[in-house]
Amino acid sequence: MVGSPDPSGCFRRSVRLFMKAVPNSCDVLVIGGGPAGSSAATHLAQAGFDVVLLERAVFPRNQVGESLIPHIWKFTDMTGVSEKIEQECFLAKAGSITVWNDKIHQILFSDFGYTRPGLHVERDIFDDILLKHAESCGAQVFNEVTVKKFDFSDSQWPKIFYTDKRGHSNHESTIRCQYVIDASGHSSFLANQFKVRQTISTQLNFLSLWGYFENARFVGVDRKSYSTEALTTVKPVTFVMSFEDGWVWHIVLRGKTSVGLIVPSERTRGMDRQQREVFFKQTCASLPHLNKLLEPARFIEGSLQFRPDYSYYSNKICGENYYCIGDAAAFVDPIFSHGVQNAFYNAAAATLAIKESLKNKKHRLRYSQLCESRMQQFYGFSRSLSLGEFGSNGINPGLVKNLMRLLPQLELELILVASETTNRSENFRRLAREAGVLGQFEENFSGRKTERIGALDF
């Protein structure tokens, strides 16, 4: 029978003949095709460098993290992918409503001068657009190829070992490159092998559980709840709410709604998958507001996923021949939807350093050190904003304060306002006060840009 696999492996070999082979060498090897890896590959390919990206999954692949803030547009403009994102017509989000310890705040991006919206995206589609864009710009992208280990003994030409699983094969080989970008997400390929990845705090041992519902109601920009038919006329907001020792998100998408819980791992310790699903559904049903939104909804069976290993950072993310970016470098509680923006920022910073290093190898160590401090600054900023009293681990306060002083006024105001909506930002507000930006903000703007709401209309 034509095309049927045979035990001798002839079929696999003949399939492999038609597949484009992974080259033996390149300027830059990127591990992982999420937002960090694909945008890094795009930046470098656009600058004319020879980039190979190895991705272990088959795209489109599922991913969590569906709420995007408008800050992403400046990065997608840089890589020229904004138009392709716009053409997909993802849901435009106007802002957020946060119910935290019974205080309700609404933030609208338009109040801060943002002319482009945030987005609620299906990440499989969004990430696929980014990866295809990288390929269309000249990056060589290979799905189903898993990076296994590395050999940095020749610092000029590191060697990467991978397994190519295309065509049902398990072909092992190597590729040499001048620079490695680790964008492998939470598996933190390099940081784990270098043993530099650290959990932020043992007290911050959280677990995220998320699943999808059909037919849930959504929260509109006018704070009322609507059935999904109204999405054609009413802009949604991301809905976030605290409870006991955790918090929950509700993000309406096209055709389904993403709901996720962040809880101390202790709460689900010893539970199997089924018990976690019961815990998830019961918690959702017990929370005010959320239970109203989910009243008419149906849980999509089998959609529950969870992720432990919640908040981590690495104290060295750049070396003279490698750069760890996105979640491969650090992960910050996603309460302010910073993840994809951080991935884009890191990709831009790392590729700038690599481009300069490829032109002028003599200074490559210096470029990597500069990049390290930029990326640690950005992570420190996000971490102090999102992790409450635990957020000081691994942060260089001086760097964070400098960034606060350099931010455009409206961007700073939006973040300062966001920092008032939960009790997570003590460190951030302390640093902002020390940097001299908080007092100025409180004098001039307090109360003008954030709306404290008495109640929700559902």
Among positions 107-146, residues that touch ligand FAD (CB under 6 A) are 146
Shortest Å, Cβ 250 to ligand FAD:
11
SS3 69: coil
SS3 150: strand
Q: Which stretch binds ligand FAD (CB under 6 A): 51-59, 97-105, 283-291, 361-369?
A: 51-59
CB nearer to ligand FAD: give 310 or 428. 310
Q: Which stretch binds ligand FAD (CB under 6 A): 7-15, 31-39, 355-363, 366-374?
A: 31-39
The one-letter code for the residue type at 44 is L
> Site size for ligand FAD, by CB under 6 A?
37
Place of tokens 């106007």: 94
Q: Which of 446-455 are b and which e, b meaning 16 or more Cβ less than 10 Å from the residue's Cβ?
A: eeebbbeeee
CA trace torsion 35, 41, 42, 45 (10° rounding): 180
Supply angle C-alpha 303, 308, 312, rounded to 5. Answer: 135
CB nearer to ligand FAD: give 179 or 441. 179
- Rule CB under 6 A: choose which of 46, 63, 174, 303 binds ligand FAD: 63
Shortest Å, Cβ 56 to ligand FAD:
4
Residues near 136 by Cβ (< 8 Å), separated by ≥ 6?
A: none
- Rule CB under 6 A: choose which of 70, 334, 380, 388 binds ligand FAD: 334
| Mask for 183-202, x = binds ligand FAD (CB under 6 A) | xxx-x-x-------------
Asked if 29 and 52 count as a contact pair (C-beta separation under 8 A), the reply is yes
Peptide bond between residue 60 and the one before it cis (omega within 30 degrees of 0): yes
Burial class, 62, CB count within 10 angstroms (exposed 0-12 / middle 13-18 / buried 19+): exposed
- Rule CB under 6 A: choose which of 326, 380, 388, 391 binds ligand FAD: 326
337 interacts with ligand FAD by CB under 6 A: yes
Shortest Å, Cβ 398 to ligand FAD:
25
- Rule CB under 6 A: choose which of 37, 158, 220, 236 binds ligand FAD: 37
- Rule CB under 6 A: choose which of 70, 117, 319, 339 binds ligand FAD: 339
340 interacts with ligand FAD by CB under 6 A: yes
| Mask for 239-278, x = binds ligand FAD (CB under 6 A) | ---------------------x------------------
| Torsion region of 34: left, alpha or beta (phi above 0 gives left; psi -120 to 50 gives alpha) | beta
CB nearer to ligand FAD: give 120 or 401. 120
CB nearer to ligand FAD: give 72 or 437. 72
Shortest Å, Cβ 19 to ligand FAD:
17
Rounded CA separation 43/138 (Å)? 10
Report the chain's C-alpha Rg in angstroms: 23
Rounded CA separation 324/347 (Å)? 9
CB nearer to ligand FAD: give 260 or 380. 260
E strands in 20-164: 25-31, 51-55, 67-68, 91-93, 95-100, 103-108, 118-120, 140-143, 145-151, 159-164
Which residues of this protein are in contact with ligand FAD, per CB under 6 A?
31-37, 54-57, 61, 63-68, 146-147, 183-185, 187, 189, 208, 210, 260, 307, 326-328, 334, 337, 339-340, 343
